[in-house]
Structure 1
Amino acid sequence: MANFEQPTSPRCLSFLKSLGLVVGCLAKFVTGSLFVFNVYAEDLKTTFNFTQKEVELQSSLLNLGLGAGFLPGLLYDKLGPTWTSGAGLVVSVSAYLLLWSTTKYAEFYGRNSWLMALYFFVCGIGSVFTYMVALNTNIINFHSKHRGLIVGVLNSFFAGSPSIFSVIYYKGLTGQNRFGDFMLLFAVSFAFVDILCIIFLRIFTSQEITHNVLTIAPTKDESKYLKSSEKYEVSYNSAIPALKTNGSTGTEEHDFSQNVKQDESENASESEVDLFVNYHNGEQLSIKQLLCNENFHLFTWMFVLAASVGLTLVNNITIIAKSLHLNQYNGSLVLIVPITTAVMSILIGVISDLLKEKIPRMSILVFACACFVVSQAVILIFGKLYVLLILGTFLCGLGISAMWTLCPAVMSELFSLENIGRNWGIAILLAAVVGLIIQLIFGTIYDAYVVEGTLDCYGMKCINGGIGLSLTAAVISVSLGAAFIIKNRRHSNYVQM
């Protein structure tokens, strides 16, 4: 672990935060390898003679491992980025080395697909340690007014990396053991980025300077001329922060001494104003309170269903293409979602920050859920047409961009930064479980139409059931998002979400 000298100037502090963002982007890039499963799914199926249901099991447990982010999230909240990165290093490298070894015993693992699925599950768990460190540390370090941009930049690396890994797999790996070589590449990559995270990622927490918002109580005659959003803010001066480091957790803390001056005339008129303190940190709830909170369930299940739809399509796009006799375009199809997400994540993050007061983040998220609805409907009805299959895949990528960029930001704004690891971990755990169910149903329906003695199924009948289920989940996610907006539209804090 590197021993940083305590920054003595804002410039030094800014440099360390920026360095942490760069390392976070590299870490997110490598963890994005989870979503490249569709690239090697066919080789996995033929190498180990798996049925489609067994292939779906491997994919689902990989994502279920990512969904086990609840536990790494708790570890992060308690011990910070250094120890969490160390745990990710051990788990990820070990799991990918086990997957690398499976090709040497293909016949054995062909009969024991559950064991290989367990390896994928552990890979997912290892990845989420790195994911949590990269995301949470940078969310905490940067001001909330830039949160959409920061998460968007991180997500662009996370979602865009499958396009790079796809090119490496199709163009760079030419041997007969491409799957094994790919797993070895992931083992080395995770070792590299986790070591960087251990060395460079630190939390720079500061006690936020709160703003006292004075709401003038208008007279009866004046009330019709004043907007409810009109407020008068009193700003306070603060001293330069002093920095101290907690070496065991990689957390660096700032203490601010505030110099608050209040005019005597304000004291005299205190009875005429209402004083509100805006913490900008969301509502801090215990786990029991969180699970009983209506907003948490509406928001989380909206994300869970939408994320599951995106995950199912991304992991099965090559299977869908082969069923529709379009597998000659696999090399192009697998790039659509990563490229779309890499570009749109930053754009959506910037727009959500700039227009936050006019277009709440939740409105953008409901639009993203609607993109999933249209995407699944287009593929279900017109999937045989290559151009419309591209359109459906693009709309799915657009929805994924918004969901994975804005949902972490909204979660932190609604339910406190201090528990972001726990809260966001619960959300991605539920998304992984629901994704597992949808993908297993997809695989079961697909296998039901496979001719005995073969591995593949051809025609819309093979995928209609799975796509129809995804379409239903997408419609429900739109309904939950709309319900959240209707429930909260009269609350003043909704403007910030």
Structure 2
Amino acid sequence: MMNSSKSRQLRKYFSLGAGILGWFLGGVVFGFNVYAISLKQTFNYTQTELDYIASSGDWGECFQFPAGIVIDKFGPKVTCSISLIVTTMGFLLMWMATAFRIFFSSKSWLVCAFYFLTGFGPTFLVIPSMVVNCKNFDKKHLGKVLSLLSGTFGVSPAIIIVLYEGLFVQGHFEDAENQKLGEFMMMLAVLSACISVFCVVMLKTVPEDTPYDVIEQSGEAMNKTNDIHKNKNMEIHKNINDRTALVPEKTTKQIPKDMNCWQIIKTPQFYYVFLICLIIMGICISVVNNLTIIVESAQIDVNQITFTLIIPIFAVISRLFVGVLPDYIFQKWPFIPKSSILLFSCILTCISQMIFIVFNGSLIGLICASVMVALAYGVLFVHISIITINLFGLQYCGQNCGLVFLSNGFGLVLFQKLFALNYETNSPPGSHSCFGDLCTKWFFVLTSSLSFCAVFLNFCLMKIERDLHLQHDESQASSHQK
């Protein structure tokens, strides 16, 4: 029995290690900025064409719903095998493009398709890694597991940047077209193949003797039985004129019903979560992607690398530690609405956008607002998965989380377009650059208003959750009386 328990623990940690590697591969696409100039000069692309390539990778990363369907229907082995094929093929096609520069210099749409595969393929590792490890560990450790995986996801671009600058730039800073971009893509192809194979072999759901939810449900059933016997004994001694209702002092904890993606779209909770994620993540991503442009338009004489480093540093810090807080809150105060943890990201985003409006020309103001955006994005990235699992159950969490994260892609497109519209409207005729407060001011006025709407939606979601909890308590009380 002892050996069996140790074997299960060992398999759990091997699966966690595979999950960490899977999420590391998922974050590789966000290291695009380090080789963006090399890609642009290698193929002589315009800035618009380069932006399309970058957005295609981001969209591939956001399109996690198919991976969720596959993991829920066929398991981790099949899902990771798809990642092995798609991701490796994507990086090999990118390498092939660098070998035929002249042909692909006029075919940027093909490079967009190739780069989409490099973002889409790792989702078939990211989603199964999340699902398997959330099922392998007790539900009370859900936040810690997601924080560890998400933190790895955030560290990945920084490691890729260091590798590229250390091994493949080779001193060609001014002539970026001579950097070893092709060799770098080949290295990523080999790396993705190795990680995918490791996940195919090691990523497995490890069954427990008594799953966590079964313990809760069996405990609830035992409480009901004990309460029934207690009530019967009390009824024997009950005075005939006593009209006091026999209701237990504490009601049992509500366990979420497992719902698939077709069932959750019929619930109002899904649309509240979807809209909150769309607004907050869309705002944060648009600010992150355009941070150097915001600094440039503010005409602040500062090294822009300072701002590009702020986002990953604080995003990783928030992702690594933020999962511990929900675990503590949900165990200490189980009747607090689970969706209340989203308030932190919503309120922080709202404050950051107002700082961008008022202190747009101040270095300290821009740094404070950027830090808040990084923290809000990193926290929401973890909390949105926790909320989805707590509201809709763990059994179909792959497809449910994938469906919710589609909002990330829609938000990216929407707010990127809004930012570009505000920026280009205030640019001088014939110029692609804009300087002054008006370049970004009305965009931040809009985002601050929408983030305030997200706070309101969050309170509505909390009220719905609270009402359902009260209904559950009333039904439990009535069943005890019977």
Gaps of 5+ in 1: 1-5, 215-231, 237-260
Deviation at 1:348, TM superposition (A): 1.3
Judged with a 3 Å threshold, the aligned counterparts in structure 2 of structure 1 residues 74 and 475 are, in CA distance, closer, same or farther, namely: same
Determine if contact 1:449/1:457 at 8 Å carries over to the other structure.
Answer: yes
Post-superposition offset of 1:290: 1.6
C-alpha contact 1:323 1:460 (8 A) present in aligned 2 = yes
Shift of the alpha carbon at 1:395? 0.7
**Which amino acid in structure 2 is aligned with residue 10 of structure 1?**
S
Q: How far apart, CA to CA, are the structure 1 residues paired with 2:257 and 2:135?
A: 15
Structure with greater strand percent: 1
More displaced 10-residue stretch of structure 1: 314-323 or 62-71: 314-323
Q: Which moved more, 1:322-331 or 1:419-428?
A: 322-331
Match of 2:310? 336
1:73 aligns with 2:73: no
Cα offset, 1:129, TM superposition = 0.8
State whether residues 324 and 460 of structure 1, in contact with CA within 8 Å, keep that contact through their aligned partners in structure 2. yes
Of residues 83-92 and 117-126 in structure 1, the stretch that sits farther from structure 2 once superposed is 117-126
Partner residue, 1:367: 344
Measured at CA, do residues 11 and 461 of structure 1 come closer, stay the same or move farther in structure 2, by a change above 3 Å? same
Q: Which stretch shifts more, 389-398 or 144-153?
A: 389-398
Give the unaligned 5+ runs of structure 2. 171-177, 236-245, 473-482
Other-structure match for 1:492: 469
Cα gap change, 1:164 to 1:212, in 2 (>3 Å): closer
Residues 289-304 of structure 1 correspond to what in structure 2 (within 5 A)?
289-304=263-278
CA, structure 1 residues 103+391, in 2 after alignment: closer, same or farther (shift >3 Å)?
A: farther
Residue 422 (str. 1) matches residue 399 (str. 2)? yes
Deviations 1:113-153 (A, max 9, x none): 32222222222210211111221111111111111111111
- Paired residues in the alignment total 448
Q: Deviations over 1:75-97 (max 9, x none)?
A: 01011111111100110111122
Take 1:46 and 1:192, find their aligned partners in 2: how far apart are those partners? 30
Q: CA–CA distance in 1 between the matches of 2:432 and 2:182?
A: 22
Q: Equivalent of 2:455, from 478, 483, 494?
A: 478
Q: CA offsets per residue over residues 385-439 of structure 1, 9 Å max, x none? A: 3333222221111111211112111111111211111111111122212312322
Match in the other structure for 2:96: 101
What's the counterpart of residue 325 of structure 2? 351
Please identify which structure carries the higher helix content. Answer: 2
Q: Which amino acid aligns with 1:94?
A: M
Offset of residue 50 of structure 1: 4.3
CA distance in 2, matches of 1:464, 1:42: 28
5 Å matches for 1:453-472? 457-464=434-441, 466-472=443-449
Residues 431-459 of structure 1: CA distance to partner in whole angstroms, max 9, x if unpaired?
21231232234345545566788765555
Aligned to 2:382: 405
Q: What TM-score, normalized to structure 2?
A: 0.81
CA distance in 2, matches of 1:321, 1:354: 39
* Residue-by-residue CA offset, 1:280-311 (whole Å, 9 max, x unaligned): 4x223354432120011111221122112222
Counterpart in 1 of 2:477? none
Contact 2:269/2:461 (8 A) holds in 1: yes
Over 3 Å counting, the alpha-carbon distance change for 1:110 and 1:312 in structure 2 is farther
Q: Could you tell me which residue of structure 1 aligns to residue 364 of structure 2?
A: 387
In structure 2, the CA distance between the partners of 1:205 and 1:276, relative to structure 1 (3 Å rule), is: farther
SS in 2 for 1:417: coil
Q: Structure 1's 453 and 44: CA in aligned 2 closer, same or farther, altered over 3 A?
A: farther
In the aligned structure 1, how far is the partner of 2:345 from the partner of 2:423? 28
Measure the CA separation in 2 of the matches of 1:384 and 1:48: 36
Residues 313 and 166 (structure 1), Cα distance of their counterparts in 2 relative to 1, 3 Å cut? farther
Seen in structure 2, the aligned counterparts of structure 1 residues 454 and 387 have a Cα distance that, compared at 3 Å, is same
After TM superposition, give the deviation of residue 42 of structure 1 in Å.
4.4
The residue number in structure 1 matching 2:214 is: 209
User: Which residue number corresponds to residue 179 of structure 2?
Assistant: 177
> What per-residue deviation string (whole Å, max 9, x for no partner) do you get for residues 322-348 of structure 1?
444569633332222222122222321
Work out whether residues 365 and 403 of structure 1, in 8 Å CA contact, stay in contact via their aligned partners in 2: yes
Q: Percent identity?
A: 26
1:191: which partner in 2?
193
Task: Tell me the residue number matched to 2:129.
Answer: 134
Which of 308-317 and 395-404 deviates more?
308-317
Q: Note the alpha carbon deviations across 1:47-104, whole angstroms, 9 max, x for none.
A: 5454444333223222221222111110010111111111001101111222233344
Are 1:51 and 1:447, in contact at CA under 8 Å, matched by a contact in 2? no
Measured in 2, the distance between the counterparts of 1:212 and 1:361 equals 19
> What is the one-letter code of the residue matched to 1:189?
L
Alpha-carbon distance between aligned partners in 2 of 1:144 and 1:277, rounded to the nearest angstrom: 17
| Residues 343 and 455 in structure 2, CA contact (< 8 A), matched pair in contact too | yes
Distance 1:171 1:286, change over 3 A: closer
Q: Are 1:31 and 2:26 counterparts?
A: yes
Q: 1:120 to 1:437 in 2, by over 3 A?
A: farther
CA distance in 2, matches of 1:460, 1:45: 29
